[in-house]
Amino acid sequence: MASTFTDLGLELMATGENAGTWGTKTNANLSLIEQLTGGYLSQAVTNSGTPTALTIADGALTGTAQQRVIELTGTISGNRIVTFPLLTENIYIIKNTTSGAYTLQLKAVSGSGATVTFSATDKGYKLIYLDGVATNTGVYEATVGAAGDVTLTGTQTLTNKTLTLPKINENVTTTSTSTELNILDGVTSTTTELNYLDLATLGTSAASKVLTANANNLTTISGAVLNTEDTLTDGSTIAWNVINSPVAKVTLAGNRTMAAPSGTGPAAGQFISLLVIQDGTGSRTITWNAVYEFPSDTAPTLTTTANLGDIFSFRYNGAKWLLIGQTLALTLS
């Protein structure tokens, strides 16, 4: 019975064959095993567009796919392919040192098995595994380390990666000062909350420094502060969200009731202002909710003249909205 060979080229000798040459052939097998487990090969990549075919040589040390470490070299002027023989089942360390910003794909010589590709900028190492499937041998990149670990070097883009206790060296480019970065230590804000601090988002520029605070807890605002005047909906009972609309106006088309202020989170110290306008008929009245507090518990009498307005300003004490000022019978246009 004649000798046979494994898919990696090792000779399997039949009983009674190769009399007197077993020693030579066994030594050849051992040399091939040594080469398969620790050998190195520098292989130039064909630049013609034809795939570079790595080979298995039965019983010999000359196959280009019979090394553990294969360094792919040469100048390439386009995306190139390197193939392995079908049925190959082995682990390889592949180093890409080709010149040229083009991809380099590793695959089986035929079939539709999986492939591994060096990107155009990846001039490093890949640990790959060939599964040896008969007609569709697949090439897979083996992950070194725990799943999800980032072990990249050089300039890389990390997409959807989780960094657990990362150590960032001093070679990180930033435009922030150490003092500015220290301010963020311990911050638990969300991205949306942090965006509120962005001066561009607030509609101004950093150079204007519209808001400053000193060591004495004094906050300075350079420029006017605007609370947009909102229009409340007139109705038998008028609702006023004093959080969304701290400055508001309403035109009365009948005798009305002013409901208690609404809105989540009013706090003691908040100021609000309301302009009450008579319609073209005039003599409209307001019945104020008891949460509005007036001097001597007596609400003022509104202007009765058509189209004139009255302004009321209140300060919240945590329980009631205290009247702090009123101006009546104002001509508005």
From first to last of its 333 residues, the chain has per-residue pLDDT tens of 688 999 999 999 988 888 888 899 999 999 999 999 999 999 999 999 899 999 999 999 999 999 999 999 999 999 999 999 999 999 999 999 999 999 999 999 999 999 999 999 999 999 999 999 988 899 999 876 555 555 555 566 777 777 777 766 666 666 666 666 666 667 777 766 666 555 444 444 444 556 766 777 787 777 788 889 999 999 999 999 999 999 999 999 999 999 999 998 899 999 999 999 999 999 999 999 999 999 999 999 999 999 999 999 999 999 999 999 999 999 999
User: Residue 288: which domain range?
Assistant: 230-331
60 in a domain, yes or no? yes
147 in a domain, yes or no? no
Q: How far apart are CA 225 and CA 202, in angstroms?
A: 13
150 in a domain, yes or no? no
Using the 3D structure, point to which of 88, 119, 141 is the last residue of a domain: 141
Helices (H) and strands (E) counted in the chain, each on its own, are 3, 22
Quote the pLDDT of residue 204: 44
**Same domain for 122 and 189?**
no
Helix (H) or strand (E) holding 286: strand 286-288
Phi/psi at 270 (5° precision): -75, 140
Using the 3D structure, point to which of 141, 168, 200 is the last residue of a domain: 141
**Same domain for 299 and 255?**
yes
Quote the pLDDT of residue 192: 64
**Same domain for 291 and 316?**
yes
One-letter amino acid of 34: E
Q: Any idea what the CATH number is for the domain that residue 263 is in?
A: 2.60.120
**Same domain for 256 and 320?**
yes
Q: Which residues contact 144 (CB under 8 A, 6 or more apart)?
A: 127, 151
**Same domain for 10 and 137?**
yes
Q: pTM above 0.75?
A: no
124 in a domain, yes or no? yes
**Same domain for 94 and 210?**
no
Residue 55 contacts residue 78 (beta carbons within 8 Å): no
Q: How far apart are CA 321 and CA 318, in angstroms?
A: 8
Using the 3D structure, point to which of 153, 186, 221 is the last residue of a domain: 221
Q: Report the SS3 class of residue 148.
A: coil
317 in a domain, yes or no? yes
**Same domain for 59 and 9?**
yes
Count of structural domains, the chain: 3
Quote the pLDDT of residue 200: 47
166 in a domain, yes or no? no
List, in sequence order, every residue forming a beta bridge with 81; answer none if it has no partner: 105
C-alpha distances (whole Å) from 201 to each of 42, 90, 192, 198 are: 56, 56, 11, 5
**Same domain for 133 and 213?**
no
